[in-house]
Amino acid sequence: MFEKSISFHETLGFKLCSLEPTAPTLSFAMRPNLIGHYLHGRLHGGVIASALDAVAGLAVIVGIAEKYAHETAEQVTQRFGRVGTIDLRTDYLQQGIGKKFTATGRLTRLGGRIASTQMTLHNETGQLIATGGASYVIS
């Protein structure tokens, strides 16, 4: 469902790995059309930022589902439709070299109007490629 709900996620090959409330994760495999530097075979920075944004949004959605578990499924689904990125920071720490990447999100605050998150991206060897922080409007 996650992969199909936003066609851009499907285009990038994002796969949902976990909906663990404290650390939802997604992963994707390196492919030639994700390369940002053809000489080095590095992952494009836009793909990195997109993965961090996607997993942070996922953390917000999981947080909303938990916070409003007493509401009907329709009410919670309507809340999901109001989520939107308002600020995204990406810190590129290492070259995006690898065969598979995993992004993890963490909800740091879920207020009445704004949610805050922190994210990481690792390659298959566990090397930290990038970190990020983001804010989302939720009302």
pTM of the shown model: 0.93
The DSSP 8-state label assigned to residue 38 in this structure reads: T
pLDDT digits (tens, 9 = 90+) for 103-122: 999 999 999 999 999 999 99
pLDDT digits (tens, 9 = 90+) for 118-137: 999 999 999 999 999 999 99
Q: Which CATH code is given to the segment(s) 2-137? A: 3.10.129.10
Residue from 74, 91, 76 nearest 132 by CA: 91
Separation of alpha carbons 133 and 118, rounded Å? 4
Residue from 124, 123, 69, 60 nearest 87 by CA: 60
